[in-house]
Amino acid sequence: MPAAAGLRREEANAASLANLAALGKALVAYLRDHDGTLPELRDASGLPPLLAAYGAPETAFARPDTSDVYLPNRLLSRKKVAQFRSPA
């Protein structure tokens, strides 16, 4: 079944996983430089330039199948990762 951007579902899933991996690596690097504190996550447009310095390509912030931008969880804004009891 083709996805919205002409990608097959398998291609879209693989691209989504690649995006998440790139974002995860950049975010871990950011956390190391900022004492384990997450960045400001209230504005989705502020995150790409912030994480670009840590290797996250701008294309990693959008769904490959629809080009919709991933929205950050605003409740995690400026929180220390060590405060979380579980990843969920």
SS (H, E, C) the chain: CECCCCCEHHHHHHHHHHHHHHHHHHHHHHHHHCCCECCCCCCHHHHHHHHHCCCCCHHHHECCCCCCECCCCHHHCCCEHHHCCCCC
Would the pLDDT of 88 be above 70?
no
Give the global pTM.
0.80
Would the pLDDT of 5 be above 70?
no
The predicted-structure confidence for 26-70, as pLDDT tens digits, reads as follows 999 999 999 999 999 888 888 999 999 999 998 899 888 888 888
Instruction: Compute the distance between CA of residue 51 and CA of residue 73 in angstroms, rounded to an integer.
Output: 16
